[in-house]
Amino acid sequence: MKNLKQTLSSLLPAGRKVATQAIPSRRPGGDTLELFLPARAEATISWCRRSAGSIVEQGQTEDLASLAEKRKGARVIVLTSPADTLLTKVTVPTKSRNKILRALPYVLEDQLLGEPDAQHYVYHTIKGTELAVAVTLRETMQNTMQRLAKAGLHPILMSPANLALSGSDKSWTVYFSDKDIWIRTGKFSGMMISGDSAVASSILSLALNEAEKRKLLPDELVLINKPDELLEHALTQNRQLSIITKNLSLWEVLDSRYCEFNLLQGEFIPAKEANPVVTRLKPAFMLLLAWIVLSVIMTSWEWISLTRAQKQVRAQMLALYKQTFPNENVTGDPMLLMQSKVKEMQSAGGGFSDNDFLALLSASTPALQASASSKLHGIKYDQSGLIFNVNLPDYQSMESLKNRLTSSGLAVEVLSANSGSSGVESRLRVSSTGE
């Protein structure tokens, strides 16, 4: 008797009345494929596809995999047998989620048929420390998820089917299926009765008596597909209770927008479905990622190689500096020290002048290259300047070369010029003008 009272108590809504009629609370955007999975795996599965809340297709199947084609472009919602989930209420003196989940197995131990630690708990805070709780055997959840995954179906919402009935604290809904009776008595409360209409009438009467004692009696009772043998007056019993009867098909009755509990919590939280655009671009993303990784590796390798080369060059410069200046201490960058020493040596030796070999050769080279027909046979350098032995076609070509050298800021002296069969063999002295 105690267990029956606990069952009836859990069947009743929370101790407050909020709405006369349940309003659909939410539906995932886009189309949905909604399934009803009976408790027995071999039983027929009912399904429907909705678009913007309206049924566009429905049917039955014994093979979940056959719904893979129906699932395209839709999000999957699964309604399970109310027999698989206990809906109840408890008060836990804490608001910490972790503490609540640890406490629930012990608080609900008397109401559970199996081991408390073998259950999957989902709760919703009603008010303060009062909780609405849905309890399902973890093994049942695991088997259901495996069945769905094997068929390629990945639900975003899973709820007991009786919470997909329209209902509220002031309006209870009773749905008579072929073998069972589903009841919703509030936002988070309800149950399933297995038996004939006489059993259903007895349990409903007891639930209404309990609700009347606690001043939670609903204003109306909606009976869907009520059998003729169920007498309405047996439920009213002079109560101020309105009876409404309807005849509706399964998917006219069930609507996932009414579901307030999502059993896919904790270890069963669904992974986010991949965006179709992201799926199509995934190969390109992978190639880009591979290219970035390869670039980083190559850049790192190049940096390491350059670092090693820099260390080797520095070591060579240091050895050269010590060899060149054995009495000097190395205190800094050997390249800068070498440059400093070279400048000191240049200053001590009078530095460079425009009449040096390299300076004269650098200034003369453009003029010599411009004389395409000239042939340079030799170069001699002394303190007076550079002496070029040049073969030219004629005297006019020699004058042209002389003028070009002069235009380059050089002083030119013709030391000799002899005409022969091969042209004019000339010796030209080039020196700096000193300007």
pLDDT bucket at 434, cuts 50 / 70 / 90: low
Q: Is the pLDDT confidence value at 213 over 80?
A: yes
Would you give the end-to-end CA distance of the chain in angstroms? 125
Residues in the chain: 435
Distance CA 322, CA 326 (A): 5
Whole-angstrom CA distances from 266 to 84, 138, 142, 154, 370 are 18, 11, 12, 16, 87
Q: Is the pLDDT confidence value at 299 over 90?
A: yes
Closest to 130 in 3D by CA, of 187, 75, 176, 183: 187
Q: Hey, what are 389's tokens? A: 């032995």
Q: Is the pLDDT confidence value at 61 over 80?
A: yes
pLDDT bucket at 309, cuts 50 / 70 / 90: confident
Closest to 230 in 3D by CA, of 281, 181, 286, 274: 181
**Domains of the chain in sequence order:** 2-273 (3.30.420.380), 277-348 (no CATH), 357-432 (3.30.1360.100)
pLDDT of residue 241: 81
Any idea which of 78-82, 269-273, 323-327 has the lowest mean pLDDT? 269-273
Write out the E strands in 8-154: 31-37, 45-51, 54-61, 74-80, 85-91, 119-127, 130-137
Pairing of strands 375-382, 190-194: unpaired
Whole-angstrom CA distances from 335 to 121, 303, 340, 345 are 74, 21, 9, 15
Q: What is the pLDDT of residues 125-135, one digit of tens each?
A: 988 889 999 99
What is the model's pTM? 0.58
Neighbours of 75 (CB within 10 A): 19
Maximum average pLDDT range among 178-187, 191-200, 395-404? 395-404
Q: Is the pLDDT confidence value at 160 over 80?
A: yes
Q: What is the pLDDT of residues 9-34, one digit of tens each?
A: 555 565 443 333 333 444 445 789 99
Decide: 400 and 425 in contact? Cβ < 8 Å: no
Closest to 86 in 3D by CA, of 46, 106, 45, 114: 114
SS3 of residue 102 by DSSP: helix
